[in-house]
Every structure is written in structure tokens, then in C-alpha cells.
Structure 1
Amino acid sequence: MKRRAFLALAGGLAVAPGSVLAAKKTNTNTSSKPAAKATAKKPAGKAGAKAAPAKSNARGNTANLRPSAPNQPPAGHVTGMRPAPLPRPRQQSWRHYDLVVKVAAPDSGQPLRAWIPVPSENDWQRVEDLDWQGNYGKAGLRRDGDSGLLTFFAEWPAGTRAPTLELKLRLGTRQRLFDITRRGATPETEEVLNQNLQSLGPWPQDVLAELAERITGRIREPMPQALAIYDWVVDHGISCSGAPESIQAALCARNDGGTGLAGIFVALCRACGIPARRVSGQRLGPSRQSPSLGASGDVSTAQHWRAEFHAPFYGWVPVDPADAALAQRQDGDSGALRKRLFGFWEMNWAAYSSADGVHLPQGPGESLPVVDRPLLAQVERDGSVRLLGRQGSISLEARPSEG
């Protein structure tokens, strides 16, 4: 699925949250033979008339996909591409990455479902191509209407032997650099700002409020307040001491993909009235900034969380306290990179969502606090959906790509 078709489909899902581009099987064969790519088809005008291939339309209507050979499960690929709008000034040229997600689920007597988060679209990242194949019963794009998270959804009927899915994404990214010398209008809705002032995490709010006041002191402007909080979080993420006991574990976590430090930064910003949010994401390639801040090849456990805060006249400002602390701990960074990561994201990484919680379409009834990797679930006999955790085999491979 090239970029034009992807944007049309993702746009259509944004208009109708919870709708699905379904790639439904045209036969009931659940063979696990390799799947062939499918082509888009529109219904024949008259009975018996031969259907002609059709391009994906701009409204993002459902495309019925059919196998190109008998007894083959469907796959998805739609052609046609239009370049994305030019980015904002002071951004660098595009980098490109290929991400391949493979699902090899265990045999099950019950239906199985999988959700693979798809990177969001913005000025510094875009999905350029999307292909999939497998022996699923149906598959397609779905969006959570509350969080905005876009996922690739697949479902296997009960009794499917060796359920498989392979999803290939080609991504374009460019550096995100905040410039403090540039001021201007920063339109953002009051609803979004209020959402990002709500209390976050399991930490006691009175402890956070007292700590935020102690960190910021007499500083009253949002930008220097956020910088003081950032420095405090990085310092205590490195030393792992001197913080209130109730947040110590989050600051000292070493294998949480940055969720702890990003979460503490956001919670402290919110405690002093600065809208802020965590951003879930996936490392895609080596870092040009520091050896420990990249990943390539098997990136199945290379999820990473960053953060943003909103400042008047500047809008959303990117920060990465977790990587700032990691670079100083592991690479002996002298502090130059730490300063840069206040207002900078190196885009060897793809962002998924900045929501505090996500409801998976046709997933468990409760909201999930984190969706930063593919998930697999089984549909029980009573209709409930149970996440399988590590019982399913899901791998992620990423590599830089040319062009």
C-alpha cells in the first residue's frame, strides 16, 4: 500500500473511528501456504461481468482484496503515491527505514487477534509503504477513536493451523529540532491542553506537587520551569538517589524503555501547570548522537518513550530525559547531548501515540496504559479477549533503507 492509499485509508478511519479496512478471505481454506499479494477490486456492474482493477479512492472506502491464485490467503498491496506536504523550516532531509513485523501464533481452538501499532503521521515522520500477507481471516487498519492510535488488526478464525502474519512498513523520518529563537502562534485546542494536565501515573499527587514546587522554586515561566524539571529528572535518573521513595522505582528503572523517566518528567510538569505528554515509540536504526541510543536488526525489545511539553508561543517542545540519562551512564557523555535532548529528537525512532491510555479495537474491555509493541490475544468462549503475552511469537526487524 503506497503512501497515497495509506493516507486515504487512515483519513477515512479518522472520520469514522472504529471502522476497519477489512481484507476478508474469499474462501474458507485455512492452509498455512505462503500468501500471494492481492490486488484491489471493485464489484462488477452486471452479473457475470468481469471486475476491473480499481485504484483506492480518496475517501478511504473499504477495498475488497482477493487472492491472485486459488487456495491462497489474501494479502494487501495498493499502488499509487503522492509526496507528503513540505515540512516546516529548519528540518533535515528524510531518512528511510524498513520495519518488518512477523507474527507466528500458536495453534488454538479459539479465534486469535493481533494488533500492530502503526507510526503516526506528522511533520517529522510518515508511512511511505505498507504491505501485508498471512493466513488470517481478515485484516486491515483500525483506529482507536479516543487515543488516535492507528493499528494494523488481524483475526484468525477458530481452528486456523499455524496462524501467521507478516507486515512490512517503509518509514520516512527527519530530525525534530526545537528553535528557541523562533516565537509565534501555537494553536492548540483547550481540550487537548486540559487532557495533558490530568494527573498521571501511580505516584501520590501531593508528593509530585511538593517536589515540583521545590524543583522550580521562584521560576514562573513554563520554559525555564520545564528545563529545571528536565535537569532534575536526568540527574536523579543517573544517580538513582535523593528522590522521594514513592517515585524512586520509576527513576531507577533501567529496562523500561524510558517510560519511567518520561513519565516522571510529564507528571512533574503537569503538577506545576505545564501541559505535557509521554510519547510511545520504537527504535529503528543506529544513533548518530551516541552509541547506546540506537538499535537495528532485531528490535523486538527496543521500544522507547520520549516526552513533550507545551509552552506559549513555542507549542509542543520535544525532550528525551531517559536517553539523556542513558548516554551519560553508558557512554560517558559530558553533558552536550543532555543539553541537546532538551528540544531535540533524533529520528532513528518512530512515534506511535501520546495518549495516557488506549482501547484496542475489538480488544480487551479495559483501557491499556501502554501499547508500544505488537499484541496478540485469544477470544474466549464467553466472548472475552485475553492478551497472550509471550505465548505468541512476534518479532520485529528494522534496518535503514536507501532512497
Structure 2
Amino acid sequence: MPSVASEWQRSIDTSWSGNATQAELIVDPASGARFVHARFDGSAAPQITLVSGFETRNRTIDWAQPAPATEDPAVLTAALAPSANKPLQGVVTQTAQKITAGAGSDVEKVRAIYAWIVANCYRNLDTPGCGLGDTVATLTSAGLGGKCADLNGLFVALSRASGVPARDLYGVRVAPSAFGYKQLGAGSADISKAQHCRAEVFLLDYGWVAMDPADVLKVMRAESETWIRDPADPLVAEVNRALLGNWEGNWVAYNSAEDVALPGAGRRLPFLMYPQGVLGGARLNELDPKAFGYTITAQAL
């Protein structure tokens, strides 16, 4: 359910229906993330339909036109804090210090981190879903490979460790890409497997700025039959430049929540981007829509 309020995304309405014994809208007190929690009595096959309307648009930046920006200090504090997936110590801080050595401003630090991820990380096609987002594992056991939750999550963690407020936004692609890349958009109205997270950083002279190095790596690895290793390759260069500060409006963000406590879950989720369910005491596999029994669709109105 879209819950991110900003100049580039606006929620219009939300409604739900089905045979739930109880259904309620819950707001996570720590992050403001909204979700519907439904319970079923087992007398019939559980069914719930959630409909959300929203408007979104492209985000662009003119790096040549800085303007001092302000933000609620509490928001910036949260965007600098560690989480279970983003501990700001050990290998994370050590890596951030190496990458940003010699960088003076927040812009220089962010550019260095973005360039380092594009040059050194890669999209691992075997990673389930969008990845676990475990920053330490991405830097160590995963060998710098993963998917968007891993790679953009790493960008966010390295930015925080460098003193730059940053956050992941978790959502889903809802339309094709204007770039023409099949990998960067929804290929059909069925978006059940189109989840994608993006990143933002808060820069003193620009405010919240869009970032998505993970999608650059997706183009490099999956757009063509050949794995492109050079970000200056003609197929990659345009999107590499664009995703440092810009986003397409073909995607909608749900929330930026981390370490989310869901009712009855028994554990905290590192992030909330997929439907979650428990049936007969067993958790359903959120990465398998067919086995779980959910479908997500999108249409333009």
C-alpha cells in the first residue's frame, strides 16, 4: 500500500474487500509504513483484495542548480541510524572510509559510493527475489553480488557510514521503462514479481535525491545476452548517468521501513516489500506468488 508522501508520489485512495473475519489498517509507529492486517476464521478459503490508487512522476535533478535544503531533524537522524541489515561498524565503515577517502562534500561522497558500486558489484541472477539486503553478507560471503535490496541497501549503508543521510524505498514497478530497457520496467499488467527498491540520499544543497545503482547493474548483467562489465559501454552509459539523481515514474514506493514488527509474525522483517502470511502456524513463501496465492496487477487510469 503506497504510504510515501512527497512531491513525486501521491496516494489517492485505498480500499479492501474479502472474507476476512477481521481486517484493519495498521501504521507502523517507528516508520509510518501502512499495511492491512487481516485474519480469517478458516471456514472458507481466505481471500482479500486490496486496491490502491496513486499518482507518480519522474524525478529529475539539475546538479548545476544547488539550493540549500532543510528536513525534520528526526527524519535525518533515522536516515543515519544503523539497522539489523545495515550495521554501521566493522566492514561497512571500513569500506565506506576507503571509498570516500579524499571526498570533502556530501555530493563527492555519494558520487564516489555510487561509482564504486557500479564498478565493483554485480547483479547475481541466482539471488531469490530482491535479495535479503544483508549489507555485511553482500560485502563478504556474497562477494559483492545480489539484487536491488542487497545493492541499493549497500549504497544506503555506505552513505550512512559516511555521514550522509540515506534510506531505501521499497516498492514495485508498475509500467514499462521510457529508457526502452525491458529490465527497468513492468513487462505486463501482472506485476506480482516486479518488486524493486530504490535509494535516496539527503544532500545539504539539494534535499532528497534519487539514486539507483542496482538498476545500472541490472542493465549490465541482464539486458543483453552478454554480461557487460564496463559502465561506459554504450548500452549502459546513459542509464548510469541518469540513475545518479533521477528516477522514472514507472515505479511506486510503499515505504522506507526497516526492522518492521508485524502482528503475529514472531520476528522483525528487515523490510516490508512483499505480502506476508501465516497459514496453520507456517509462514507462506512471499517470494512465490503462486504458492502463496497472491497476484498483483497494475493499470493506468
Name 1:197's counterpart in structure 2. 80
**In structure 2, what is the Cα distance between the partners aligned to 1:312 and 1:118?**
27
Alignment match, 2:39 = 155
User: Number of aligned pairs?
Assistant: 272
Matched, 1:272 2:165: no
Counterpart code for 2:75: V
Q: Distance in 1 between matches of 2:110 and 2:15?
A: 41
Q: Indicate the residue corresponding to 1:218 in structure 2.
A: 102
Query: Equivalent of 2:11, from 122, 127, 149?
Result: 127
Secondary structure (helix, strand or coil) at the match of 1:133 reads strand
Partner AA of 2:277 in structure 1: L
Distance 1:387 1:218, change over 3 A: same
Equivalence for 1:388: 284
| Cα displacement (A) at 1:280 | 0.8
- Normalised by the length of structure 1, the TM-score is 0.62
The CA deviation string for residues 18-45 of structure 1, in whole angstroms up to 9 with x for no partner, is xxxxxxxxxxxxxxxxxxxxxxxxxxxx
Larger Rg: 1
- 1:52-201 aligned at under 5 Å gives the runs 117-157=1-41, 159-200=42-83, 201=85
CA distance in 1, matches of 2:261, 2:139: 27
Q: Residue 209 of structure 2 aligns with which residue?
A: 317
For structure 2, the 5+ residue unaligned runs are: 125-135, 229-234
Structure 1 residue 209: Cα displacement: 2.2
Percentage identity across aligned positions? 34
Deviations 1:204-248 (A, max 9, x none): 8222222222222211111011011001101122488xxx98615
Following the alignment from structure 1 to structure 2, what is the Cα–Cα distance between the partners of residues 246 and 120?
A: 27
Residue pair 1:357, 1:369 contacting (<8 A) in 2 also: yes
1:252 aligned partner, one-letter code: G
Measured after TM superposition, the shift of residue 274 of structure 1 is: 1.1
Q: SS where residue 167 of structure 2 aligns? A: strand
Quote how far apart the aligned CAs of 1:310 are: 1.2
Query: What is the letter of the counterpart of residue 158 of structure 2?
Result: L
1:266-311 C-alpha deviation (Å, 9 max, x unpaired) = 1111121111111111111111112210113221121111111111
Which residue does 1:87 correspond to in 2?
none
Determine whether 1:252 maps to 2:145. yes
Structure 1 unaligned spans of 5+: 1-116, 381-385
- CA distance, structure 1, for counterparts of residue 209 and residue 117 of structure 2: 17
Give the structure 1 partner of residue 128 of structure 2. Answer: none
Q: 1:216 to 1:374 in 2, by over 3 A?
A: same
Cα 1:203–1:312 change in 2 (3 A) is closer
**Distance in 2 between the 1:154 and 1:250 partners?**
39
Helix, strand or coil: the match of 2:277?
Answer: strand
Asked whether the equivalents of residues 13 and 53 of structure 2 are also in contact (C-alpha less than 8 Å), the reply is yes
Change (3 A) 1:262 1:250: farther
State the match for 2:184 in structure 1. Answer: 293
Q: Contact 1:250 / 1:264 at 8 angstroms: preserved in 2?
A: no
Tell me which amino acid in the other structure corresponds to 1:186.
A
Alpha-carbon shift at residue 203 of structure 1 (Å): 6.5
Report deviation, 1:323: 0.5
Aligned-pair Cα RMSD in Å: 2.5
Distance 1:284 1:239 in 2: 21
1:176 positional shift: 1.2
CA contact (8 A) 2:170 2:255 kept: yes
Query: Are 1:335 and 2:227 matched, yes or no?
Result: no
| Structure-2-length-normalised TM-score | 0.81
CA contact (8 A) 2:123 2:218 kept: no
> Relative to 1, partners in 2 of residues 1:199 and 1:132: Cα closer, same or farther, differing over 3 Å?
closer
Deviations 1:184-220 (A, max 9, x none): 3422222222222223426682222222222222111
